[in-house]
Chain A
């Protein structure tokens, strides 16, 4: 398979701008996760979806963050407006829900820098 696909790989933007990160999960997987990685906080789960429905968004830091999954093959994570403290690597991961114990597959990540 092509694996989990994320775009862009790198994003540099200025404070106040809108940022949209994109993810295409592995075909057939019905769970999708957004994680954020920083030096200070490590890997944090932001939100996850089952069958395109958001299940738990308790990790979303603020109302500036939003995520959507309009269909089984596409999800977005949007930050509006962006702030320098949002600088991090954002990972998308997917799995087949009933086989979650088999482990999640991660995308290559998007490195976001907000100036």
Chain B
């Protein structure tokens, strides 16, 4: 079974600085998708960014970008110019191609300090 590991339970960053959240996963498959979800205190799960395994180019969404290292099975999230509204839990998630069972990591609690 696929597993997703987020090794940083908590992180903090100063407003306007850059922070990187780590995620590793374990799979023997070659076709899959990776996601980062944000869960602010409102508890709404919000999709931040997604990556298709067969694409070598790292995904970018405004201030959010990923560093996808397929061989190392690593999928880190970089948040640039951190804002107070980025304070949230961040979950890394894995979806095997052809499957619908989205597997989540335990999450990283990010606090952006003013």
Contacts and interface: CB of A to CB of B under 8 A. Distances in A.
Interface of A: 31, 33, 42-43, 45, 48, 50, 55-56, 89, 91, 93, 95, 97, 100-106, 108-109, 111
A103 B35 contact: yes
B33 A95 contact: no
B101 A56 contact: yes
- Give the size range of B's interface with the partner: 20 to 34
Contacts of A106: 37, 44-46
29 contacts: A42-B104, A42-B105, A42-B107, A43-B91, A45-B101, A48-B101, A50-B100, A55-B100, A56-B101, A91-B45, A97-B100, A100-B33, A100-B95, A100-B100, A101-B33, A101-B97, A102-B50, A103-B47, A103-B50, A104-B102, A105-B47, A106-B44, A106-B46, A108-B42, A108-B44, A109-B43, A109-B44, A109-B45, A111-B43
Nearest to A58: B101
B78 interface: no
- What 9 A-B pairs have minimum CB-CB distances, sorted nearest first? A106-B45, A43-B104, A101-B33, A103-B47, A42-B106, A100-B100, A109-B43, A108-B44, A103-B50
A43 B45 CA distance: 11
Nearest to B45: A106
Q: What is the predominant secondary structure among interface residues of chain A facing chain B?
A: strand
Contacts of B97: 101
